[in-house]
Amino acid sequence: MYDLGVINGRVFRNGRFSKLNVYTENGKIAYVGEEIQACEKTIDCENNMLLPGFIDPHVHFSLKVGEFVSADDFVTGSKTAAYGGITTFIDFLDPIVHEDELEKVLMARKEEAKDACVDYAFHATLGNFKGNTGKLVSLCRKHGISSIKVFTTYSESNRQCSYDVIEELMLKDITVVAHAEEDSLVDATWKDIKNFEKSRSIQAESTAVLKLCEIAERTRGKLYIVHVTAGTTVMLVARKYAKLLGEKIFLESCPHYFYLSSNIFNSKEGGLFLLNPPLREGKEINKMRKSIKSIHSIGTDHCPYMIAEKMKYDTADRVPKGIGGIENSFILMYNLFGNDIIPKFTSVPAKIFGLETKGAIEVGNDADLVIFNELVSNNIKETHSRCDYNVYAGLKVKGKLLATIIGGDLIVNRDEFFDRKGRFIERG
């Protein structure tokens, strides 16, 4: 007898929907087919979509920057994630400058994450790395970490990693996750909130992105660029590196770069919207929407701070950077792109990041599922984040997430929450 039956869903597999029943056993998908099976508990999808659980490869829970800590810890962050259909997130380890520090930062972050209710993994993160990249990659692999984050900027906080180190990494068996902005073109001391966009220009982004792509082309390395902000950048990469895009070079963007424009910095509440890299003008949003085929994965860069913290200082250099969005991410992107967005939340990030048992409704995979009604209309309200404002509040969207199932556990069902423990996922 199966543990859970999720029946009468329009099941999304390989880009198509079929009317099927899914049964789980010991946290795994154990049957997908047309028959009705014996099981302990049944959820009826009532002909709504049944999708693989979503993956957010870019979040920052309990991120300490200066005097501030991001508003969501792993408990509240994973809860707001579950309400958004996110069943796996990838957060980051603290930056290290030598491979000897890896185990310590991994243990510390695992301890912080242990009460997360959804599954999780971590990218290793480098500061101004001075160690041995070969040893680092072996250590990461030993601990089930298949991606390393680097920054080409943030020299002011000693987090900038040299292009030489990045090139060494790309020659090895690991995915290089890059925050790409050319450091010499960034002004980290920028004070004017109204014109904050100018502190980190599109040119700063595209210059670093193209340099990294050139390294990836030369080394045949695997490169994943986080939070691309501008359609212009995406188009440049798509033109110059068409053959490598989706094979060796992957681009991530975030819902805010598709919805929010830099005009908002010029409002009374501009400070609430400050983040790095900044929002762009409306015309870039349009270009971004046109370039969706060249974007492989949607990360939220979820990193909100409380209103009082965002408004504490009135110069941009002192405002903590970051906004939330994990709970609304899928709905927002679904509203723009329909079913084409589903793989970018599921199978594609699973493949890029070695989440071997995630991203597809197939027997043997983790039983991570989302029931989604794409027809009902809603206004976005406050979320289950601890943060006291939502940058998307009031937006009218179509579609509602009805239920989230992780490892065969029903965690969210029609707005009700049932706590559980997530697992650290070792990646291949």
Smallest distance from the beta carbon of 109 to Zn ion, in angstroms? 15
* Candidates 116-124, 260-268, 299-307, 333-341; binding stretch for Zn ion (CB under 5 A): 299-307
Closest CA to 254 of 209, 216, 223, 285: 285
Smallest distance from the beta carbon of 252 to Zn ion, in angstroms? 10
Find the angle CA(165)-CA(125)-CA(237) to the nearest 5 degrees.
65
Q: Judged by CB, which is closer to Zn ion: 51, or 288?
A: 288
Residues 11-70 that bind Zn ion (CB under 5 A): none
Smallest distance from the beta carbon of 56 to Zn ion, in angstroms? 11
Smallest distance from the beta carbon of 99 to Zn ion, in angstroms? 22
Q: Judged by CB, which is closer to Zn ion: 2, or 196?
A: 196
Smallest distance from the beta carbon of 72 to Zn ion, in angstroms? 13
* Candidates 101-109, 294-302, 386-394, 403-411; binding stretch for Zn ion (CB under 5 A): 294-302
Q: Judged by CB, which is closer to Zn ion: 181, or 301?
A: 301
Residue facing Zn ion at closest CB distance: 301
Joined together, the tokens standing for residue 77 give 């962050």
Among 72, 301, 309, 327, binds Zn ion (CB under 5 A): 301
Task: Tell me the residue type at 202.
Answer: I
Q: Which residues pair with 21 in a beta bridge?
A: 33
Q: Judged by CB, which is closer to Zn ion: 149, or 344?
A: 149
Joined together, the tokens standing for residue 65 give 């920057």
Site track 248-287 with Zn ion (rule: CB under 5 A), x = hit: ----------------------------------------
Smallest distance from the beta carbon of 112 to Zn ion, in angstroms? 17
Smallest distance from the beta carbon of 294 to Zn ion, in angstroms? 20
Q: Judged by CB, which is closer to Zn ion: 228, or 361?
A: 228
Q: Judged by CB, which is closer to Zn ion: 197, or 301?
A: 301
Q: Which residues pair with 41 in a beta bridge?
A: 4
Residues 396-415 that bind Zn ion (CB under 5 A): none
Q: What residue ranges bind Zn ion (CB under 5 A)?
A: 301
